[in-house]
Amino acid sequence: MLVDSYDRVVDYIRISVTERCNFRCQYCMPEKPFSWVPKENLLTFEELFEFVKIAVDEGVKKIRITGGEPLLREDLDKFIKMIYDYKNDIDLAMTTNAFLLKGTAQKLTDAGLKRINVSIDTLKPNVAQEIAGKDVLANVLAGVDEALKVGLKVKVNMVPMQGVNSDEILDVLEYCKKRGMSIRFIEYMENSFAKEEIKGLKSKELLEVISSRYTFEDEGFDGSSPSHYYVMDDGYKFGIIEPYEDDFCKKCNRIRLTAEGNLIPCLYFDEAMSIAHFVKNGDIKNAALVLKEVVKNKPEKNRWGGEDHETSSRAFYETGG
Ligand code: SAM
């Protein structure tokens, strides 16, 4: 079992399979980075799988594939199948913008994928274009429909931003509720790559908007999920992710692996250790030692909240959000 210095059990790994993305979201990657990681520096799926086996043998129970945009990486279904065949009760999920999902959802499900989180920040084509830098909405919504059709469980993530999509909080919530998909509103997390003028909505403001149409009860947190949940009278649950609050880190059970093989203990912090050399050389023992070291060094909390509130210098498209 992997346990950090604050007695938190780490049993969840998020693997970013590429930092590249086909969207240029204002809050994440508004401009194409100066240079991408060269393709030859990316770990192959076989190398990533070597690490997955170590992590699973150490007690990891949940793996989320993310990016950049994970569907840009060819043969992703084969990687998913490798993991599924190794341990078919792993909670295997993916976070995607769904742009390429219509043509891939069936293949991914057949390979063993169970659940996806899709980013939907708006239901207006022109606003989607403004946020993502291109005309994306029709493909995204078609991707979501296909995912539901092939039986994937779908959760939606929305980042509400003042003056951009803050007037659509109830519309996106309704869209999800009608389709039986849960929604999590993510408070915008400041980072030095995002557009400077973005102002995100905080949970208090979000709750005010939602209470203008619905009544709901505060359900608190569910296990290690970073989401603060609320349940409506008819049982529909929605969540808010509040990284500026202390509770966000208390039950954190996750670490992150980048496509280049950097193992990151916290979404906020720059500290990382590489497993690339070890997995490339089949040195399982040392890769496992790095994993344990990273877990041991996991910081108690991020620095978005509190009095010494800071902006993160880490790119979300690199860590996978
Ligand atoms: N391309 C995929 C997608 O769009 O979902 C996966 C990668 S994306 C980095 C993962 C998640 O991070 C998305 O839900 C996105 O909304 C969230 N995210 C990215 N930048 C963020 C920020 N500055 N604040 C809050 N959430 C952010």
Predicted confidence (pLDDT) per residue in 167-181, tens digit: 999 999 999 999 999
Q: Rounded to the nearest 10 degrees, what angle do helices 203-211 and 169-178 cross at? A: 70
Contact criterion met (CB below 8 Å) for 316 and 191: yes
How does residue 307 score in pLDDT terms, banded at 50, 70 and 90?
low
Distance 244 CA to ligand 1 centre (A): 16
Residue 62's alpha-carbon distances to 56, 200, 239, in angstroms, are 9, 29, 20
Q: What is the mean pLDDT of residues 126-150?
A: 98
Which stretches does DSSP call E strand in 159-287? Answer: 182-186, 216-221, 227-232, 237-241, 254-257, 262-264, 273-274
Q: Express each pLDDT in 196-209 by its tens digit.
A: 899 999 999 999 99
Does the Cβ of 132 fall within 6 Å of ligand 1?
no
CA–CA separation, 168 vs 187, rounded Å? 15
Does the Cβ of 189 fall within 6 Å of ligand 1?
yes
Among residues 85, 102, 83, 103, the alpha carbon closest in space to that of 93 is found at 83
Residue 216 pLDDT greater than 80, yes or no: yes
Distance 20 CA to ligand 1 centre (A): 13
pLDDT, position 318: 80
Sheet holding 62-66, edge to edge: 216-221, 227-232, 237-241, 182-186, 153-158, 115-119, 91-96, 62-66, 12-16, 254-257, 262-264, 273-274
Distance 321 CA to ligand 1 centre (A): 5
Q: What is the mean pLDDT of residues 37-54?
A: 94
Probe target for ligand 1 pocket from 15, 20, 25, 28, with the most ligand atoms within 8 Å of CB? 28
Q: Express each pLDDT in 83-98 by its tens digit.
A: 999 999 999 999 999 9
Q: What is the mean pLDDT of residues 272-286?
A: 95
| Minimum-distance ligand 1 atom for the alpha carbon of 187 | 25
Structure tokens, 160: 């509400």
Closest residue to atom 11 of ligand 1, CA basis: 321
Closest residue to atom 18 of ligand 1, CA basis: 321
Distance 37 CA to ligand 1 centre (A): 19
Q: What is the mean pLDDT of residues 230-258?
A: 90
Residue 211 pLDDT greater than 70, yes or no: yes
pLDDT, position 302: 79
pLDDT, position 174: 98
pLDDT, position 248: 76
DSSP structure class, residue 40: G
Across the strands, what pairs with 95? 117
pTM given for the model: 0.95
pLDDT, position 246: 65
DSSP structure class, residue 3: B
Q: What is the percentage of the chain residues whose pLDDT exceeds 70?
A: 98
pLDDT, position 259: 95
Residue 236 pLDDT greater than 80, yes or no: yes
Q: Which of 32-46, 57-71, 180-194 has the highest mean pLDDT?
A: 57-71
How deeply is 239 buried, as exposed, middle or buried, from its count of CB atoms within 10 A (0-12, 13-18, 19+)?
A: buried
Structure tokens, 46: 């076989």
